[in-house]
Amino acid sequence: MTVPITQESFMAFLKCQRKSRLLSEGAIGAQAEFCEWQRRSEDNYKELASARLCSSIPPNERYVGTPPAERLRERRYRLIFDYAVGESDVHARLHALEVDCSQDRARHHCYIPIRFVPKEKVTASDKLMLAFDALALSRATSELPAVGKIVHGRQCSAVRLPLHKFIRRVQSLIEKIVTQHAERATPPAMLNKHCTECQFQSMCRQIACEKDDLSLLATISDKERKKFHEKGIFTVTQLSYTFRPRRRSTPGVTKHFPALKALAIREGKIVCATTSARFGPHSQRGACAFVE
């Protein structure tokens, strides 16, 4: 049986593939206070932004819920809030829909999706989520919106975005999620910046510690970690044995050496790599790593 992709699982996939899989399986982690605060902030902002949009529109021209498809084709409502999509492959609840008043509306969907974002800056993830909303709407109406709108920030500024390139990216990500669902194995625990706000943080960190995984070193990027894997280095302990002190360094520049930090963790102390070259026998430059 195909597991439908939800907004929550898609957003989680953008941050962590393991989290997306756990959510699709119905796993429940330890709910963090930050997550609750974030959810309340988003709900409050939706109410604020919705009220501003409704201020200039008569009650009979707006709708809350999911009206019949024929009413969408008739463009009966200028604004629709909390439109639900419950197709077999996609489940979503769109923040809002707005009648498309552009000159080329005859060639596209009669409604465009609106997403409310409390942040002042619109990120790439926000744009992908808007494209996901558009794709979900097309599953229910068989018409794909070409543009969408993001309302963001304290001033409720509106940004109208073409969705072509973002929809292609969303379709590619959905294919990866479907492939992931078809596999029995859950993606491995890979710690990243999102872990601090994730309900599965403690579980994944315990797994990473048991494996001595390289993702325990937060300063290592995904690209660097892949290079280490290609060399056969998969654990912090293995990486610690690869450090070699550098004899020269650029004045005023402190370099970061992942292997040095791994060495500091293995030995349980502060380890410094220093050099006296260029600065005389009494000067030292280099890098140091501190045990977390």
pLDDT category of residue 38 using cuts at 50, 70 and 90: confident
Indicate the DSSP class of residue 242: T
Indicate the DSSP class of residue 180: H
Q: What is the third-level CATH fold of 5-182?
A: Lambda Exonuclease; Chain A (3.90.320)
Report which of residues 196 and 281 the model is more confident about. Answer: 196
Report which of residues 61 and 260 the model is more confident about. Answer: 61
Q: Which residue ranges make up each domain of the chain?
A: 5-182, 212-289
Report whether 3 contacts 88 (CB < 8 A): no
Token output for 108:
């596209």
pLDDT category of residue 288 using cuts at 50, 70 and 90: very low
Of 116, 117, 83, which is closest to residue 97 (Cα–Cα)?
83
Report whether 216 contacts 236 (CB < 8 A): yes
Rounded to an integer, what distance in angstroms lies between the CA atom of residue 16 and that of residue 192?
Answer: 8
Report which of residues 287 and 27 the model is more confident about. Answer: 27
Instruction: Match 């430059």 to its residue by tokens.
Output: 285
Give the predicted TM-score (pTM) of the model. 0.80
What kind and span of H or E run contains 144?
none
User: Residues 207-223: pLDDT tens digits?
Assistant: 999 999 988 888 888 88
pLDDT category of residue 247 using cuts at 50, 70 and 90: low
Residue type for position 118: P
Please give the pLDDT value at position 95: 96
What kind and span of H or E run contains 105?
none
- Average pLDDT for residues 81-99, to the nearest whole number? 92
- Average pLDDT for residues 193-215, to the nearest whole number? 89
Q: Which residues contact 38 (CB under 8 A, 6 or more apart)?
A: 197
Please give the pLDDT value at position 292: 44
Average pLDDT, the chain: 83
- Average pLDDT for residues 12-34, to the nearest whole number? 85
Q: Which residues contact 149 (CB under 8 A, 6 or more apart)?
A: 98, 112, 113, 114, 115, 130, 158, 159, 160, 161
Of 88, 53, 82, 49, which is closest to residue 67 (Cα–Cα)?
82
Please give the pLDDT value at position 275: 40
